[in-house]
Structure 1
């Protein structure tokens, strides 16, 4: 059976949760500003690490919100999985669609490049060439 908290303990828990979310958000904003800084433009590893940290912190915030504020941490495992599995499928679909869209863009660029390319103009061949030759030969 679940343990019931008093009103004061519940309010204290909510404020702790909000403080944690605020702290994580501040760290995310600082990392974003670090990535946008002028000196960081040429330091690729710094940008990659900051991007990965931002993604990790965002996933943690989503997990915390779902676990605490949506009360998924206190539900039976089957219900929690029925909510989380479609979420993972949605993430997979987003990644797949962006990847497919990028492939379409690259193929479209190839097609446009080929359409703009000029074919070399060859000299006339066949019967027309023979007619020109006959006219040039003195009779």
Structure 2
């Protein structure tokens, strides 16, 4: 009886090359986001200052989430762990925004 040879090629590159390629891809993604931030900084006029600030805040959150997902390996964790970190952070951000608006309102009354 002849046995058929099965060849499975999962990865043709050595593991080190795969890791290096992943790091370069991560650096490229972060570079693209940073370039977009620079374009926004130098093309949006001062008349639209609020829009520019919100774009920067959004892009900073995107970069932070990507960095946490990649370098802290949160992307590869179970979903329950991810939500147990995200939900308290959402409430902390909401609390900070609420305190900021409340403080501005108290300051305006005085």
Higher relative contact order (CA closer than 8 Å, sequence separation 6+) = 2
Q: Deviations over 1:50-105 (max 9, x none)?
A: 33332322221122112111111111112112221221121111101111111111
TM-score calculated relative to the size of structure 2: 0.74
Match of 1:34 among 40, 43, 64: 43
The answer to whether structure 1 residue 9 and structure 2 residue 18 are counterparts is yes
TM-score calculated relative to the size of structure 1: 0.61
Where structure 1 has 5 or more consecutive residues not aligned to the other structure, the ranges are: 109-139
The alignment yields a C-alpha RMSD, in angstroms, of 2.2
Equivalent residue pairs, number: 98
Q: Quote how far apart the aligned CAs of 1:48 are.
A: 4.4
Instruction: Report the Cα distance in structure 2 between the residues aligned to 1:92 and 1:104, rounded to whole angstroms.
Output: 18
Where structure 2 has 5 or more consecutive residues not aligned to the other structure, the ranges are: 1-13
